[in-house]
Structure 1
């Protein structure tokens, strides 16, 4: 099973970008405790060092769905801004979403058109007079790469396939991320009041949200008990 996951600050400020970087670290630490492989497909650096606007990961494993149950949705960090000390806001939200339609990533080498040409630049007779350079074009998307790293045409062809696949994947990821950005405001409005995880403090300790209402029930029971005692 494979899933594309994005951790994003959406249109959030610098503080949210800092939270994305912190959450990513914890996210990867928990992945290591499960039989899940991951690959960072794309990342967009934040406006300051050690911050991230978004990061997209490809997860592979059998237990992905169970693992993601505790992660997908909005994440809240409670704390004072380290970038704006006088800022009054103390709750900062980011989102973790699944980028759907992974099956639409269809990369087939049969769809690649290869052209050979002479390598450009200095390098001697073998470089300039032999058609060793390769231009590879993915016909369905029009994406192309030019490779002249090696004096071997076969080696350049192999490298061109790998680079072209990475480029096509990158374009697809960017389109998915654009869709996530477009719907971010709506997601945030819906999920802000019900984060799946809450962290707090500079040390980023995890606070488990108690949704059982056990504490509230016990309080009501005690109040009712005291009320009966007063009646007696």
Structure 2
């Protein structure tokens, strides 16, 4: 299961807008190559229509060479050069967000006794299945308090599998954060974005790539 995370880290609203533009561009690029992508989880930014974080899932684990190249081109720090649409007098024009591709590790399953499982009806976009079946799955990891809710798939079984994979990833990220904190060098990919080493650069409100 391949998952892709776009994150503005602790950046301002302009970075959250860049995430929105980046996700839209990525989905367009992926679909042109025949890759199917679903939004699994998203964290809204302070300004409506922007996102601090978006988690996407590829609908297939089998990718061809062109598709793999597309994925690799997006991994890392992405730079967006544009005057702030929110703060016209602000001098800064360079905004960054981070993209990470990872595969879920299901070789070490969670202890189900530590997880509270709830099923509920899906909400939002989802066609005829919305509010008709209890296909959405919400998990709470009692030892850490971490929770996830997944409703992208039509079957409860598929949503449950994805939810456990996502929760497992969050727990490992938390453990990594705590480990780094003990070393006095806190660093977590979801909360920190590398600046000055962009793998791709886009410009303007149309989000056109710099050649």
What TM-score comes out, normalization by structure 2 length?
Answer: 0.65
Moved more, 198-207 or 6-15: 198-207
Go from structure 1 to structure 2 and tell me whether the alpha carbon gap of 1:89 and 1:35 turns closer, same or farther (over 3 Å shift). Answer: same
Q: How many residues align?
A: 168
Deviation at 1:44, TM superposition (A): 0.8
Task: Indicate how the Cα distance of structure 1 residues 13 and 105 shifts in structure 2: closer, same or farther if over 3 A, else same.
Answer: farther
Mapping 1:200-211, distance limit 5 Å:
200-208=203-211
| Aligned residue in 2 for 1:83 | 86
CA-to-partner distance for each residue in 1:138-162, whole Å, 9 max, x for gaps? 83442222679xxxxxxx9988854
The corresponding residue for 2:105 is 103
Q: Does 1:25 align with 2:24?
A: yes
- Residue 192 (structure 2) pairs with residue 195 (structure 1): no
Give the TM-score taking structure 1 as reference length: 0.60
2:173–2:188 contact (8 Å) kept in structure 1: no
Relative to 1, partners in 2 of residues 1:83 and 1:55: Cα closer, same or farther, differing over 3 Å?
A: same
User: Map of 1:65-80 to 2, 5 A cutoff?
Assistant: 65-80=68-83
SS at 2:84 equivalent: coil
Structure 1: tracts of 5 or more residues without a match: 112-137, 149-155, 209-232
Given that 1:143 and 1:164 are in contact with CA atoms closer than 8 Å, whether structure 2 keeps it comes out as: no
After superposition, where does 1:106-185 map in structure 2 within 5 Å?
139-145=112-118, 162=157, 164-165=160-161, 167-175=163-171, 182-184=187-189
Q: What residue in structure 2 maps to residue 126 of structure 1?
A: none
SS at match of 1:103: coil
User: Bigger relative contact order, structure 1 or 2, given CA contacts below 8 A and separation 6+?
Assistant: 2
C-alpha root-mean-square deviation of aligned residues, in Å? 3.4
1 CA distance for matches of 2:191 and 2:167?
24
List alignment gaps of at least 5 residues for structure 2: 122-132, 138-155, 178-185
CA contact (8 A) 1:143 1:168 kept: no
